[in-house]
Structure 1
């Protein structure tokens, strides 16, 4: 008899720690959105796009939950912000944020979480190198959406858009990918050892 669940495919880190069920999935999806909301408040103000901790949260959520739950979690995060909860950077909210200079990054979070989650379900997240490549890929996805939208909203030249939305974030993006690539494989080792002791 199968258990109803939001996730499809191969198990992820979350499935090693928690048994799959609809209630667990809903809790994990909500926790992922909450983590992203908290990390959004870690801000280095820049114009027109601030540096935040959101992208680190997106990588962790995607890898931990997998493609489906990771994408749903980020979609929930975006929806909560649009309806008025202060979950975006600097406790902002509303459709105006999504329509503004950072909106493309927020939409990119959904795709990036799905992408890193898909790779995690193929075991890319179990070792540092695979995890690092996965998280760099997820970061690239986020910036592809963010920069495209930033160009549309501002009407800036390519050089302006890159100066506003990419160059200041390269070092931070590499650091965040490195942190996630250290955290997730280490957590996998701990979770696997704990799981074996329970058997």
Structure 2
């Protein structure tokens, strides 16, 4: 009589394959994680370069306090909306560190820690928090809402972030470094508000276009389907 022991030993493996529909992928897990990490590093580098490029574009002077209108807020919001909180925070942090160590990557070619004593200090520091906050909002919207709601919800989140983070910290920075009273700091900040809100809309439209064309840039949570017996 033929020995059927090898067939019985293989039964557990065959039953596992039948239940899962695919072989064990544990060995392939490491290359996948390396690929994702490489993609994240590349995206952080690209958006850091975008932040630098936005600062290189000459700003429009407003008032006599030395705070120009630039494309930096547009780049910051776009970074958060596209990359999500972690990678956007890393991109903005890298940008700030490059400027603080002496590279002329801030507006008007400024660099070094001395910018923290100037009128733009609050705005610069707000960029990191703004990118993280709007990145959190973008991740929540893209994961949990329909595509038709992306633009209005992201515009709302961007407006709130711009007002509550960028402009509040910018006003606080002018009050501390320029010793301005609150009313004077708010008056100095107001000319930037309409342009920043317009830039928010542009950033949202661009970010939604990116996510629709490349849905894996900010990974969406996969919806679990009920398994059938």
Residue 4 of structure 1, CA deviation: 4.8
Match of 2:186 in 1: 162
* Runs of 4+ in structure 1 over 3 Å off: 2-5
Shift of 1:41: 2.4
Distance (whole Å) between structure 2 residues aligned to residue 97 and residue 71 of structure 1: 20
CA-CA distance at 1:191 after TM superposition: 2.6
- Structure having the higher Rg: 2
Aligned to 2:61: 45
Equivalent-residue separation in structure 2 for 1:64 and 1:73 (angstroms)? 12
CA distance in 2, matches of 1:34, 1:20: 20
For residues 84 and 210 of structure 2, what CA distance do their matches in structure 1 show?
15
- The CA deviation string for residues 43-100 of structure 1, in whole angstroms up to 9 with x for no partner, is 1123321111000000000111110111111111111001111100011111111221
Inter-partner Cα distance in structure 2 for 1:104 and 1:167: 15
Q: Matched residue of 1:161: which SS?
A: helix
Partner of 1:130 in structure 2? 153
Output one character per residue of 1:4-29: Cα deviation in whole Å (capped at 9) or x when no partner.
58xxxxxxxxxxxxx622x2222211
- Whether the 8 Å CA contact 1:41–1:90 is kept in 2: the answer is yes
Distance 1:137 1:76 in 2: 24
The RMSD of aligned alpha carbons is 2.0
Instruction: Indicate yes or no: 2:89 matched with 1:71.
Output: yes
Q: TM-score, normalised by structure 2?
A: 0.72
Q: Aligned residue for 2:202?
A: 179
Aligned residues: 178
Q: Which one of 77, 80, 98 corresponds to residue 59 of structure 1?
A: 77
Structure 2 portions without partners, runs of 5+? 1-28, 216-229
Q: 3-state DSSP class of the match of 1:123? A: helix
Is residue 79–residue 88 contact of structure 2 (8 Å, CA) maintained in 1? Answer: yes
Structure 1 Cα separation of the partners of residues 91 and 214 of structure 2: 22
The alignment partner of 1:45 has SS state of strand
How much does 1:124 deviate? Answer: 5.3
Task: State the shift of 1:188 in Å.
Answer: 2.2
TM-score (norm 1): 0.82
Task: Please identify, of 123-132 and 55-64, the stretch whose mean Cα deviation from structure 2 is larger.
Answer: 123-132
Structure 1 stretches lacking a partner, 5+ long: 6-18, 193-199
